[in-house]
Amino acid sequence: MLSFEEARRRVLADVTPLGSERVALRGALGRVLAQKVRARAPFPLFSASAMDGYAVASGDFRGAGPFTLQLSGESRMGGTAPKLVPGTTCRIFTGAELPDGADTVVMQEDVVRDGDRITFATAPPPHANIRRQGEDLAAGDVAIAEGTRISAFHLSLAASLDYAELVVAARPNVTIVSTGDELRAHGEPARPGSIPESNAIGLTALAEQAGAVVRVAPLVGDDREATARAVADGVRRSDLLVTVGGASVGDHDVVRPALESAGVSIEFWKVAIKPGKPLALGRAGAAHVLSLPGNPASSLVTFSLFGLPLLRALQGDQRPLPVTIKLPLATAISRKPGRLEFMRAKLAYEDGRAVAVPLVNQASGAVTSMAWAEALAMIPADVATMNKGELVEVLRLADV
């Protein structure tokens, strides 16, 4: 069996990002930027006041205060600032252009106004309460790097820089093939020995969150030829084919021979993790293939750990791997060592600090604890017990 680190390295090796397309700004949320966003002009475009107050030239203040200056104009948002008359002050509002000749702004709370006479208690320092032209970005500076997954905050910045469209990575096409004689579509009448298929909908949601376009193929029974046909169709239509179930070594596990007969070259078949040991990676031409175990927790965990980083890499995401954090365990744990375990856990606060709370049911088929979990606590392969309060590496499911 491969280690987790080696398996993930192989999944992300030799991945060529897909093409790109131009989309309207509103449609870029969650997409990966394929062409960097540069400032076309200095940003801010002009020097402006950061406060409501009075614009002055700091050089007009000499000696000890107080100082009284005549009001000579006003600068407000949406208009052109008047030129500052030497020895006077200009009323200015937040965001308004700084008048030519002024180099500082005094807050209105710090002055006394008597008609058009403005009294300043002390000499103001230069450059106070001003957003200077180009202080954030000079013309040509990179504002958003290529490979960034676009958030709401990136959209706001792009709009501020006057972009109406962005060039983003093409969405990967994903096909999901669920296998097993026992499966029926959820909501259909039950038959003896059947269970509702539940993996595809969760996998679809995860893949779509990562930017993919997903097609769920019709259910396939434990039939090698039918599975091979579904695989061949999937690799022809997809950047990533995901098979679910039938990946073990039982008498009715037909996925591996079906993959091979459909021309899939298998890179590896087992990974030393729990849940999810029977996990395979393959290639068929340009298409990537991931074969996941059929148990719900195993399927969702392995796709989160391997499928989502692969989808991000196909989009040129500069951060295909999620960030992990270290948290103390809320309870002691005891387990059989041998494989790196991704233990489902909730997150809580105890004594003012975040802790990981392992859930009781860690069975690979426990879709309940998978739904209730907020994180995966990574228990090293050689560890049998851990005490309450020991630090453990944690992957938040919101970050997968």
Q: What residue spans define the domains of the chain?
A: 4-17+171-314, 20-43+135-169, 48-131, 325-399
The tens digit of pLDDT for each residue in 136-147 reads: 999 999 999 999
User: Which pLDDT score is estimated for 249?
Assistant: 58
Helix (H) or strand (E) holding 244: strand 240-244
Which CATH class name applies to 325-399?
mainly beta
Q: Which CATH number fits domain 48-131: 3.40.228.10, 3.30.70.2860, 1.20.1090.10, 2.170.190.11?
A: 2.170.190.11
CA–CA separation, 158 and 165 (whole Å): 9
User: Which pLDDT score is estimated for 10?
Assistant: 96
CA 328 to chain centre: 25
User: Does 44 have pLDDT greater than 60?
Assistant: yes
Tokens of 112: 């006394």
User: Is the distance from CB of 312 to CB of 32 less than 8 angstroms?
Assistant: yes
User: Which pLDDT score is estimated for 247?
Assistant: 66
Query: Is pLDDT larger for residue 250 or for residue 310?
Result: 310
CA–CA separation, 373 and 394 (whole Å): 12
In this structure, the chain runs to a length of: 400
CA–CA separation, 157 and 346 (whole Å): 35
Three-state secondary structure of 37-66:
EECCCCECCCCEECCCEEEECHHHCCCCCC
The tens digit of pLDDT for each residue in 83-137 reads: 999 999 999 999 999 999 999 999 999 999 999 999 999 999 999 999 999 999 9
Which CATH class name applies to 20-43+135-169?
alpha beta
CA–CA separation, 13 and 265 (whole Å): 15
User: Does 248 have pLDDT greater than 80?
Assistant: no
User: Does 233 have pLDDT greater than 90?
Assistant: yes
CA–CA separation, 177 and 242 (whole Å): 6
Q: Which residues pair with 68 in a beta bridge?
A: 119
- Written as one letter, the residue type at 200 is A
Using 50, 70 and 90 to split pLDDT, how confident is the model at 242? very high
- Written as one letter, the residue type at 163 is Y
The tens digit of pLDDT for each residue in 332-361 reads: 999 999 999 999 999 999 999 999 999 999
Architecture of domain 4-17+171-314: 3-Layer(aba) Sandwich (3.40)
The tens digit of pLDDT for each residue in 267-325 reads: 999 999 999 999 999 999 999 999 999 999 999 999 999 999 999 999 999 999 999 99
- Residue 5's φ and ψ, nearest 5 degrees, are -65, -45
The tens digit of pLDDT for each residue in 161-201 reads: 999 999 999 999 999 999 988 988 888 888 898 988 999 99
Tokens of 235: 């690799």
